[in-house]
Amino acid sequence: MAETVVYDVKGLLKDLAALEPGLKKALVRDSKAIGKPIASVIKSQIPTTAPLSGMANNGRLGWGSGKAANSVTTKFRSGRSRYTAVTPLVSVWVNSPMTAIADIAGKGSMRKAKRVTSEYAYKDGRRRHAVTSQGRIMVARLKERNLNNFVYPAVEDRIEDAQTAIKLVIEKYARMVNRKIG
Amino acid sequence: MSVIVKLLSKFDDSGIKKAQHGFGGLKKVLGGIGLGLGLKAVADVLVESAKAASADAKSVKLMNMQLTKNAGASKESLKQNDKFIESLSLQTGILDDNLRPSLAKFGNVTKNVRQAQKLLKLSLDVTAGSGKSQTKVANALAKAYAGNTKSLIGMFPELKNSKNALADLTKEFSGAALANADPFMRFNNSMDILKEKLGKLVLPLITDFVDNISQPGGLVDQVGKFFEAVGNPKTEVGKAFGQLKESIGLVGKSLVALFALMDPKTNDSMTGFANFISLLSDTITFLTDAVTGLAGEMQALFSGDFQRFFDLSNSLVSVGAEAVRRNMSVQDTVDALNAETIQKGKGFIYNNGQEVANPNQVIFGGKPTGNLGSGVFKNGQGFSGNTTNNNVTINVQGADPKAVVDALAKHVKTNGSLPSSLFPGIKKN
């Protein structure tokens, strides 16, 4: 699917705010509302229990630890990036780190970037360790149980419709501004 | 880490534009010291840098005056203060011209340069951390330092119960300015500072130059007198200028006459100009061919291919150049060019690289008129021809008219029949 890009959203938001208080908020709310059904589909696809026993812990990367494993939010971001000109305007975020890891597991080249880690602080000194095969085993197990790559396949066919719908919302509000100016 | 599903993207290149602006500044500064720009551009950058340095010097002078008067700053501390402003500006990306007035204000209140610097840093941290206007924050901090915390509490109500508002603010916002510094603004700023530094080198030269030219009897005086003389028709220079004006008026008329001379038949300047352009184009083509042929000859000579060198030297300039362009031997090129002429029905016929006929003499299509002239076919047979009342008479030298017939028959075999009206006496073998 070719990437669709909209222009000058920031200018539109500014004009909307100047036109009538609350219009800007309404645009954001309407745009996000389109992403919400997609978010709930993704939510339903995320396993409720840890897919692998090792993920069931209370540590930083435990399944559902800190952030709920099925925490999915829709975001509207009009701010610019310092590094790229094209950035997401409306997006759906899967927030839990371990859920994200399980989803993207096996999507890479499976090539070891390094044989040994960089040096890092450990207890009173510094150390480095060999890169193990833990990751490969995790990917293999997830693939066996068909518990990886669950986000995109679930919503792929809805993205294009959502895109069109959001563009219509933006056009609707742009028309309001144009009418006022005209 | 999170997985992000993009629903719609937007385009906003304002950040990138800032970077491009910064790189433009870098190019200018490098050009100013003589890297990669032409002389005019270098001069422009030097003038621009000198302007920036002049504005900078003015702002420094003002701040130093205030710090000396109000905070009793010594020469040493002023020097150190300059460095402080420069490094703060580089770190935070805020223009030094915007920092100096605030520092002067804090110097007024604190009567101490170091304390003023601390307050300035705090004001930048608070501005970056709270998003409030830097001028307002600076004013409120200056008042708070003097004991009036009303406007500061107005901005930050949580300070109401604070025993030491400034200390609490420092604790809350310390390091915010550095953390939130826009990298592109910092980059632009560093380019501006470089420009100012370059300008500082140029500024004394410009000042000296201006002093020099504006003194009595200097350049401004002399040139001013010259222009006055030019405007006065009674002076020698004024008279000469009047004559120059008349000459310029004549130039336009002379050009029209010149171009008309180039077409003696109609005496029309437009046709004359067209002839001139055509001649120019032919000359350029000839020169290009000559250079190409020469390059081919040199290449053949250096690679030890003496046969090709002799062939190219003995051939016509256009044929030699074509042989080089096609990377073919002269003989093959001649064959190819002759075949193309027969294919097109009009053109040159060459024999061993030498032109043996002009375009009017070799026309295999259309109706030839007048004398067809004479020439030699590729097989060495000479010919001459004439047309009268739609009849074409071709006399082939060497008493072998069959040679002509053979050549034409070969053409007919490969390209179809010839127009019968053109060669009524010739029949296909």
Q: What is the ipTM of this complex?
A: 0.78
8 Å CB contact between B382 and B398? yes
- Residue A65's SS3 state is coil
Q: pLDDT for A71-103, tens place per residue?
A: 999 999 988 887 788 889 999 999 999 999 999
Four-CA torsion A19, A25, A27, A31, nearest 10 degrees: 170
What distance separates the 2 farthest-apart alpha carbons in chain B?
Answer: 128
Distance from CA of A55 to the nearest CA of B (A): 16
Whole-angstrom CA distances from A40 to A75, A104, A166, B7 are: 14, 19, 17, 14
Predicted confidence pLDDT, tens digits, chain B (429 residues): 788 888 888 877 766 666 556 555 555 555 544 444 444 455 566 666 666 666 677 777 777 887 887 778 888 888 888 888 887 877 777 777 778 888 888 888 888 888 888 888 888 888 887 778 878 888 888 888 888 888 888 888 888 877 787 888 888 887 777 777 676 666 677 777 776 776 666 666 666 666 666 666 666 666 666 666 666 777 766 666 666 556 555 555 555 665 565 555 555 555 555 566 566 666 667 777 777 777 777 777 777 788 888 888 888 888 888 888 888 888 888 888 877 877 776 677 777 766 665 554 555 544 445 555 555 554 555 555 555 555 555 555 554 556 666 666 666 666 665 545 444 444 443
Asked whether residue A1 is assigned to any structural domain, the reply reads no
Angle at B286 between CA B282 and CA B289, to 5 degrees: 140
Under a CB-based contact definition with an 8 Å cutoff, are residues A51 and A150 in contact? Answer: no
Q: Kindly list the distances between the CA atom of residue A85 and the CA atoms of A19, A59, A167, B63, B400, in Å, as whole numbers in the listed order.
A: 27, 37, 19, 40, 80
Element (H, E) at B327: none
Hunting for tokens 């309001």 — which residue is that?
A176
Distance separating alpha carbons of residues B396 and B385, to the nearest angstrom: 8
State how far residue B182 is from chain A, nearest Cα, in angstroms. 8
Residues of B in contact with A69 (CB under 8 A): none
Nearest CA distance, A8 vs chain B (angstrom): 7
pTM: 0.36
- Yes or no: say if B156 and B144 are a contact pair by the CB < 8 Å rule: no
- Positive/negative CA dihedral, B15, B19, B20, B22: positive
Name the token pair of B120: 């300035």
CB nearest B1 (choices: A101, A152, A155):
A101
**Cβ neighbours of residue A74 under 8 Å, at least 6 residues apart?**
A32, A35, A36, A38, A39, A90, A91, A92, A93
Q: How many CB pairs under 8 A join A and B?
A: 98
Segment holding A128, helix H or strand E: none
Under 8 Å between Cβ of A165 and A37: no
Task: Tell if the CB–CB gap between B4 and A103 is shorter than 8 Å.
Answer: no
Short-list B92, B79, B77, CA closest to B126:
B92
In a mutational test of the A interface, the residue from B1, B6, B10, B17 whose CB has the highest number of chain A CBs within 10 Å is B10
Distance in angstroms (rounded) separating the CA atoms of residues B429 and B420: 14
Kindly calculate the radius of gyration of chain A based on its CA atoms and give it in whole angstroms: 21
Q: Note the pLDDT of residue A181.
A: 63
Type of residue at A27: L
Round to whole Å and give the CA distance between B188 and B317.
58
At which residue do the structure tokens 């200097």 appear? B218
Judge whether A152 is closer than 8 Å to chain B, CB to CB: yes
Q: What tokens appear for B90 in the block? A: 């580089």
Q: How far apart are CA B427 and CA B429, in angstroms?
A: 6
Residue A58 within a domain: yes
Query: B382: helix, coil or strand?
Result: strand
- Smallest CA–CA separation between A128 and chain B, in Å? 23
**Per the domain annotation, does A92 fall within a domain?**
yes
Residue span of the structural domain in which A85 resides: 9-181
Q: Are strands B3-11 and A5-7 parallel, antiparallel or unpaired?
A: parallel
Q: How far apart are CA B113 and CA A163, in angstroms?
A: 58
Dihedral pair phi/psi, residue B174, rounded to 5°: -55, 130
A-chain residues near B180 (CB < 8 A): none
Beta bridge partner(s), residue B93: none
What is the per-residue pLDDT for B424?
A: 42
Q: How far is B184 from chain A (nearest CA, A)?
A: 8
What CA–CA distance (Å, rounded) separates B311 from B353? 8
Q: Which residues contact B347 (CB under 8 A, 6 or more apart)?
A: B337, B340, B341, B359, B362
| Per-residue tokens: B85 | 């402003």
B300 and B306 in contact (C-beta within 8 Å)? Answer: yes
Q: Which of residues 70-109 of B touch A (CB under 8 A)?
A: none
Of the candidates B10, B16, B184, the beta carbon closest to that of A89 is on: B10
Euclidean distance between CA atoms A114 and A131, whole angstroms: 7
- The CB-side HSE value for B96 (13 A sphere, CA atoms) comes to 29
**Token pair for B170:** 């420092």
Half-sphere CA count of B70, side-chain side, radius 13 A: 18
CB A167 within 8 Å of CB A4: yes
d(CA B192, CA B204): 19
Q: Would residue A4 count as lying in a domain?
A: no
Q: Which residue has the tokens 């001069």?
A: B43
CB contact under 8 A, B3 and A93: yes
Provide the number of structural domains found in chain A: 1
Cross-strand bridge partners of residue B3: A94
Q: Is residue A2 part of a domain?
A: no
**A22 assigned to some structural domain:** yes
The answer to whether B92 and B181 are in contact (CB under 8 A) is: yes
A35 pLDDT more than 90: yes
Give the pairing of strands A120-122 and B391-396.
unpaired
* Among B9, B15, B183, beta carbon nearest to A80: B15
Residues B279 and B256: their CA atoms lie apart, in Å, by 18
Three-state SS for B156?
A: coil
The Cα B195–Cα B187 span in angstroms is: 12
User: Mapping DSSP to helix (H, G, I), strand (E, B) and coil, where does residue B263 land?
Assistant: coil
